[in-house]
Amino acid sequence: MLTLRTLLCLLPAVVCLTMCSPSPQEADVVHAQTDDSLVVLFTGDLLLDRGVRIAMAAHPADWLLADVAPVLCSADATVANLECPLTPMSTPLGKRYVFRGDTCMASLLRKGGITHATLANNHSNDQGNQGLQSTLSVLSRAGIVPMGCDTLSNDSAHLIAPTLISKAGLHVALFPAVLLNLENWMPRPGALSPIQPSLSLLTRSIRTYSSQHPSHRIVCILHWGVEFQPHASLTQISQATVLAHAGADAIIGHHPHVVQPPRPQDPIPTYYSLGGFVFDQHHPLACRGAVARIVVRQDSLSASLLPLRIRSCRPEWDK
């Protein structure tokens, strides 16, 4: 009998063709992309351990993203919040919840349409520095751009460099950051770490980049907020306002595991939390999530949400 690891590693290339063929229900989203626009999708929390690992063992390898892959593949880029290191080594931190994903999952994510993975969260460091190094290597080999993780500088004023997505003269600069305390994690200069800046450093980085690249759109990807709260906290609202005034054009959030919608008063599109994407939570509100869709054109940026249901750990469009 094939093990899960063997099954994933032997996943044939034809899976990508099957998964990336849009169904009639998805045609409007897929065909909305044009040559004069840059379309970037953002997912919520993506876990590849615990209940997700068990669910995957009972299904074919392409099952996990089968329902959403056609839309993810249709975008110019799809950014996922990867909530676990991908490493064969078990070097866990001393904390309550510690995750570790199978390295073979990276190729499955890429075939499902994910092009970028942010590691600026409170679980990418679950297996320590070795786990982080492994994750960057595994993602890169699979063709996924890792971001939100960097070697710490001795200079506390060192500006954050964004990840740039470009197409036909259109540019989106992504600034991933975790604005939470990281449990039992003592970052040191010269070591790899999730990007955990102060709000003032993040603001300064955005303001400087915006002044140097006025035609580029800036999207902040923030790991923040309070778990299972259906609305943004006052802290999130305050932080979002500061970042908008600094030059951010949109804000994408996650960590609460539930959807926290934008507010009519928000000066820019602000999705405080997209909820889950691939996850094993059983909280009633955690069984729903969303994918944020950012469309950039020469003179505009528009944003919308594609609602999801999470059934047996996997995302399905809420039609």
Residues 6+ apart with CB under 8 A from 267: 241, 244, 245
Residue 191 has pLDDT above 80, yes or no: yes
Specify the pLDDT at position 187: 77
As to burial, measured by CB atoms within 10 angstroms (0-12 exposed, 13-18 middle, 19+ buried), residue 24 is: exposed
Domain 4-317, CATH number (from 1.10.10, 3.30.200, 3.60.21, 1.10.357): 3.60.21
Specify the pLDDT at position 12: 35
Residue 16 has pLDDT above 60, yes or no: no
Say if CB 100 and CB 49 are below 8 A apart: yes
Specify the pLDDT at position 155: 66
Q: Where are the domains of the chain?
A: 4-317
Residue 186 has pLDDT above 80, yes or no: yes
Residues 6+ apart with CB under 8 A from 58: none
Tokens for 19?
A: 């998964």
Residue 55 has pLDDT above 70, yes or no: yes
pLDDT bin (cut points 50, 70, 90) of residue 35 is: confident
Q: What is the mean pLDDT of the chain?
A: 90
Specify the pLDDT at position 32: 52
106-118: average pLDDT: 98
Say if CB 65 and CB 315 are below 8 A apart: yes
- For the chain, give the percent of residues with pLDDT over 90: 83
Residue 113 has pLDDT above 90, yes or no: yes
pLDDT digits (tens, 9 = 90+) for 133-179: 999 999 999 999 999 999 877 665 689 999 999 999 999 999 999 99
Cβ atoms < 10 Å from Cβ of 54: 13
Residue 4 has pLDDT above 80, yes or no: no
Residues facing 260 on adjacent strands: 273
Specify the pLDDT at position 265: 96
Residues 6+ apart with CB under 8 A from 39: 32, 33, 74, 75, 76, 77, 293, 294, 295, 296
271-287: average pLDDT: 95
Tokens for 38?
A: 């840059």
Specify the pLDDT at position 31: 46
Residue 286 has pLDDT above 70, yes or no: yes
Specify the pLDDT at position 150: 93
Residue 17 has pLDDT above 90, yes or no: no
pTM listed for this prediction: 0.90
303-311: average pLDDT: 97
Residue 15 has pLDDT above 50, yes or no: no
Residue 189 has pLDDT above 90, yes or no: no
